[in-house]
């Protein structure tokens, strides 16, 4: 279901903001899983997690595709895919090792949640942009309509 909403949401608020919502949503889902008192709430958090991962990953790949030189698309997408696969492989291994002795499972989930929210904040802040003036597509359309109605 999330994949059907990514395109309209991205068109309305932009790729970056969709990625931010996705990253922060994965963090919220991890917190809910960590403190969930029942299986039903854990399942709801799992659905939120899947929805949020879709919102984070699809616009990220779209951004990569749009900003990759067409003559080098294969190496760029290969590198991106390899980094994602390493994270999918290493993250659960690290979390399992932490939960096996150093931390509790809820503490590991909270640590992951903090890292995901920080990632969302970094994407939102865009500290590497030449100009930090973010143009929000939805606000731009509203502004244009308001100007035309004067």
CA distances from 112 to 24, 27, 52, 103, 128 (A): 11, 7, 14, 12, 24
- Tokens at residue 67, please? 């900003």
Mean pLDDT, the chain cut into blocks of 10 residues (150 residues total): 84 91 95 95 95 91 84 87 90 91 93 93 79 50 47
CA distances from 31 to 36, 75, 124, 137, 139 (A): 8, 36, 20, 31, 31
CA distances from 118 to 17, 20, 94 (A): 14, 10, 19
- Its pTM stands at 0.76
pLDDT in tens, 87-119: 889 988 999 999 998 999 999 999 999 999 999
């Amino acid at each position: 279901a999330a994949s059907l909403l990514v395109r309209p949401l991205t068109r309305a608020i932009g790729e970056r903001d969709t990625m931010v919502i996705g990253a922060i949503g994965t963090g919220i889902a991890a917190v809910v899983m960590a403190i969930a008192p029942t299986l039903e709430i854990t399942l709801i958090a799992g659905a939120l997690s899947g929805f949020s991962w879709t919102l984070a990953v699809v616009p990220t790949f779209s951004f990569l595709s749009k900003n990759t030189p067409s003559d080098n698309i294969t190496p760029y997408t290969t590198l991106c895919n390899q980094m994602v696969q390493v994270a999918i492989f290493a993250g659960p291994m690290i979390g399992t090792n932490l939960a096996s002795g150093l931390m509790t499972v809820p503490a590991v989930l909270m640590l992951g949640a903090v890292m995901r929210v920080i990632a969302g904040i970094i994407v939102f802040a865009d500290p590497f942009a030449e100009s930090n003036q973010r143009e929000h597509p939805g606000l731009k359309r509203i502004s244009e309509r308001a100007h035309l109605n004067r």
